[in-house]
Structure 1
């Protein structure tokens, strides 16, 4: 079946007039921040299990989800290249997250404090990025409407 430009233009005008063009704007994107502030592999794994379950649930529902896992204090060990007990899981979750979006954030205040105490630079895993302050990042996310979860 072929349509000419005039027919397609009329169909688009009808769709816009009926409000159909706003369907994409009406889709809710679920957003959750997950806090990790303990150097405890069980807590780290629980946070990753939460993230995985959230991604899978919304994928099954055909809905979008964004997750930001924020580490600070002793929880920064989760994202340290040299100390993370869950380094392999971080990589796996990051690679398999699509269509969900997952981000791992490391507190730079904590990182600088650890570097000062330990006397050497600290690398974070490739899947993570630094934020100026983990606590402030959590506040910013909540203030912009993100849900909050602490395992």
Structure 2
């Protein structure tokens, strides 16, 4: 094997180790839409409770105010009854849309949506700013493994 070929193989092995899921570099990766964020927070919402919805919204607004929208990455992950926050007709729709405009991401659990569709025969109308993820809990796990702090207000 030539020296050049050895160098390429060594570089490929190094990149595989450094960028593999679970390594320090992968865990500290910045989200593409918030490259300068110094703080990463995932807010879990799994209850259908207007007070908890309000608390999640309040926490997100307070963090944006405290750190500034470029310094904090906030992702709200909803699943189970918590997806009520992201229904198209939710009373907090304007607040959610305002947070989205400031860079907050709102995830909605696809498994929950599929279950509701099977039970009711129709797909739930959701906020168009909601981002469907395959599984809300899996999204939280992935975020935690990427260095996000998970908070359940």
What is the TM-score normalised by the length of structure 1? Answer: 0.73
Q: 1:148 aligns with which of 139, 147, 150?
A: 150
Structure 2 contact 37–73 (Cα < 8 Å) conserved:
no
CA distance in 1, matches of 2:81, 2:113: 10
Give the match's secondary structure for 1:74: helix
Describe the superposition over 1:61-102 as per-residue Cα deviations: whole angstroms up to 9, x where unpaired: x961100000000001111114x231121112222x2xxx31
Q: Is 1:40–2:49 an aligned residue pair?
A: yes
| Matching residue of 1:68 | 75
Describe the superposition over 1:5-55 as per-residue Cα deviations: whole angstroms up to 9, x where unpaired: xxxxxxxxxxxxxxxxxxxxxx66211000000111110010000001011
Q: 1:106 aligns with which of 105, 108, 116?
A: 108
What is the TM-score normalised by the length of structure 2? Answer: 0.72
Structure 2 contact 42–148 (Cα < 8 Å) conserved:
yes
Cα 1:63/1:115, change in 2 over 3 Å: closer
Aligned length: 118
Please list every run of 5 or more consecutive structure 2 residues that lacks an aligned counterpart in the other structure. Answer: 1-35
Structure 1 contact 68–105 (Cα < 8 Å) conserved:
yes
Q: 2:98 aligns with which of 69, 92, 102?
A: 92
CA distance in 2, matches of 1:42, 1:104: 18
Cα 1:115/1:63, change in 2 over 3 Å: closer
Give the match's secondary structure for 1:44: helix
Over alpha carbons, which structure has the higher Rg? 1
Q: What root-mean-square deviation, in Å, do the aligned CA atoms of Structure 1 and Structure 2 show?
A: 1.6
State the 4+ residue runs in structure 1 displaced beyond 6 angstroms: none
Please list every run of 5 or more consecutive structure 1 residues that lacks an aligned counterpart in the other structure. Answer: 1-26
CA distance in 2, matches of 1:111, 1:63: 31
